[in-house]
Structure 1
Amino acid sequence: MRLDISDLHLFLCIVDAGSITQGAQRAHLSLASASERLRSIEEAVGVKLLERRPRGVVTTEAGDALAHHARVILHQQELLKGELKAFVSGRRGTLRLHANTAALTELLPEKLAPWLARHPQLNVDLRERTSVDIVKAVESGLAEVGLISSAVETGELQVRPLAPDPLVLILPSAHPLASSRSLALSDVRTEPFVGLAPDSALQEHVSGHARRAGFDLSFRVRMKSFRGLCEMVSHGVGLGLVPERVAHRHRREGAYRMVPLSDAWARRRLCVCYLDWGRLSATARDLVEHLLADA
């Protein structure tokens, strides 16, 4: 048995009108075409569906069953159309978003929350990655949008600045270098550090720059959060390297000093990147516009 949506629609038009003639009109078909289609439907199901009477037609028991299921199928079709339209318009779906540590911890909680609240049918697949890995993910299509540091090469990606995000050294207040106007990472290469966990994108980024400069940082302890890192530095455990806004947020009076990093890679901005505006989903375009609104 092979019935398509147009067959079911015609059959319901005839059943609801109680007449093949009026049903054909409702389906925008000629009487001859409707009658031929109705014959084909009955041949396809192998049973009589309508009783012809002087004043129209009535359904047989089989016709009642077909009418019931036809209404269910057509209703489901309308629901499907509505859901697919919602995906096309960006009202439903899942957005793949990769972000570096600074963006994930400092920018997105404030920016992403109101956007998600306004779009209750949308989900975000959010992953923490280094800026270098994010560029690769966006280039390969593994993520539609990335939040990265301006310090990395972005190739053919489209990049828009979001906010300043320089990295600073934080030192215990009593440290001999605490009053420095600026320092390069190589100036403190022999100092003990408090780091972030090894799976932190920011820590991997910083350690990578140290290795390229010919040395490794020595960590006394690694913390899962910026708050824990700053607390350790406040107690003189070691030096730390964090985004400037993090250092301001967790600083207590006299607890530690902030010293700008002179390395070019530390003077960075948070940026949003994507491959091509025209190829972004409606959801991704809406989020990017939201992120850039106050940039």
Structure 2
Amino acid sequence: MRYDLVDLRLFVAIAEEKNLTRGAARVQLATSSASHRLHLLEEALGAPLFERRARGVILTRAGEALLRHARQVFAQIEQMHADLAPYAEGVRGHVALWANTHATHTFLPDDLAGFLRQHPQVSVALEEHTSPEIVLAVARGEIDLGVVAERIEGADVELIPYRADRLVLVTPAAHPLSTRTVTRFADVLDFPFVMLHAGSAIHTFTTNAAAALGRHLDVRIQVRSFEAVCRMVGAGVGVGLVPQSAVPSNGLREPPAIVALDEPWAQRDLQVCVRKRSALSGFPAALVDSLLHAPRDES
């Protein structure tokens, strides 16, 4: 197949404008040139991408598939530019860090901010992944370090204690479980849940914990942050599982009740994951030291 980024940009413009002439103008091509390029693109792919109509064009099924992929391609290119920009601007260091949902939404924002203030010449690429994905990426040398809550048997990595935390149940203030000081996970499965989005580490962990008991969660709504979980729970939508450190101490109109979980897996201590700490140098080593010595809130 022979086509280039100009062809893909033209295709996306035509698809979004639903018109060949307007799409061509958007990428600064003559209509005749755009028509020729589109014809060659369809020949290269072996399928028509548009159905021509009297007032414009509409995507075929093949065109819809290509549009999804083309948008992903351009999103990746923009990310590449963002990753490379610090080097062009004189940044002298870069650290690739992956972390699970828990760490990304609780401790890391403040701890990374402190590190970056101390090292203005460094950029950090933080991505959210599940703990197994992070451990494997570190073991393969794809990233500098990670923050995880699970050990993967057989992975050749070193885990260093970072932060101690626990999962707790949050319930509406008037919920039947709200008066308990502690509960078992099995006792909450008959109630609707407010969950973090599918694909997040805690979503996968919670659904697996229910499946281990032969149960399915009744998920009422999925949201994008632990604070949103607490707000939804406080408003009476359902119950939720969140790290204790992620429950806002103030600022909620209807704060949820907090109930301890009597489960061995409720202890979710976070660990910094590296291939070998003694082999680290430069800014990755500095970031590990900074994370391990970051100020702790003892309140």
TM-score bracket, normalised by the shorter chain, equals 0.5 to 0.7
Aligned to 1:101: 101
DSSP-derived class of the 1:98 partner: strand
RMSD over aligned CA atoms reads 2.2
Partner Cα separation in structure 1 for residue 94 and residue 133 of structure 2 = 21
Question: How many residues were matched structurally?
Answer: 205
5+ residue gaps, structure 1: 1-86
DSSP-derived class of the 1:161 partner: strand
Deviations 1:92-151 (Å, cap 9, x if unpaired)? 2321111011211111111101211222222112110111221111112122211111x4
Partner Cα separation in structure 2 for residue 204 and residue 180 of structure 1 = 26
Query: Are residues 249 and 285 of structure 1, via their aligned partners in 2, closer, same or farther at CA, if it must alter by over 3 Å?
Result: same
Shift of 1:229: 1.3
Partner Cα separation in structure 2 for residue 192 and residue 152 of structure 1 = 30
Shift of 1:253: 8.0
After superposition, residues 82-101 of structure 1 pair within 5 angstroms as: 92-101=92-101
Percent identical pairs in the alignment equals: 36
Aligned to 1:14: none
Partner Cα separation in structure 1 for residue 250 and residue 267 of structure 2 = 20
4+ aligned runs moved over 4 Å, structure 1: 250-254
Shift of 1:157: 2.0
- TM-score after normalising by structure 1: 0.64
DSSP-derived class of the 1:173 partner: coil
* Contact 2:98–2:145 (Cα < 8 Å) also in 1: yes
Query: Are residues 213 and 279 of structure 1, via their aligned partners in 2, closer, same or farther at CA, if it must alter by over 3 Å?
Result: farther
Question: AA paired with 1:195?
Answer: M
Query: Are residues 236 and 187 of structure 1, via their aligned partners in 2, closer, same or farther at CA, if it must alter by over 3 Å?
Result: same
Partner Cα separation in structure 1 for residue 142 and residue 256 of structure 2 = 40
5+ residue gaps, structure 2: 1-86
After superposition, residues 43-58 of structure 1 pair within 5 angstroms as: none
DSSP-derived class of the 2:102 partner: helix
Aligned to 2:143: 143
Aligned to 1:113: 113
Query: Are residues 140 and 98 of structure 1, via their aligned partners in 2, closer, same or farther at CA, if it must alter by over 3 Å?
Result: same
Query: Are residues 251 and 212 of structure 1, via their aligned partners in 2, closer, same or farther at CA, if it must alter by over 3 Å?
Result: farther
Shift of 1:223: 1.0
* Contact 1:230–1:251 (Cα < 8 Å) also in 2: no
DSSP-derived class of the 1:97 partner: strand
DSSP-derived class of the 1:219 partner: strand
Query: Are residues 250 and 100 of structure 1, via their aligned partners in 2, closer, same or farther at CA, if it must alter by over 3 Å?
Result: farther
Shift of 1:252: 4.5
Aligned to 2:198: 198
Shift of 1:232: 1.0
* Contact 2:135–2:146 (Cα < 8 Å) also in 1: yes
Shift of 1:159: 1.4
Aligned to 2:209: 209
Aligned to 1:18: none
Aligned to 2:245: 245
After superposition, residues 262-273 of structure 1 pair within 5 angstroms as: 262-273=262-273
Deviations 1:232-284 (Å, cap 9, x if unpaired)? 11111100111101124357487321011122111121111111123324211
DSSP-derived class of the 1:286 partner: helix
Query: Are residues 132 and 183 of structure 1, via their aligned partners in 2, closer, same or farther at CA, if it must alter by over 3 Å?
Result: farther
Shift of 1:158: 1.4
DSSP-derived class of the 1:114 partner: helix
Aligned to 2:187: 187
DSSP-derived class of the 2:96 partner: strand
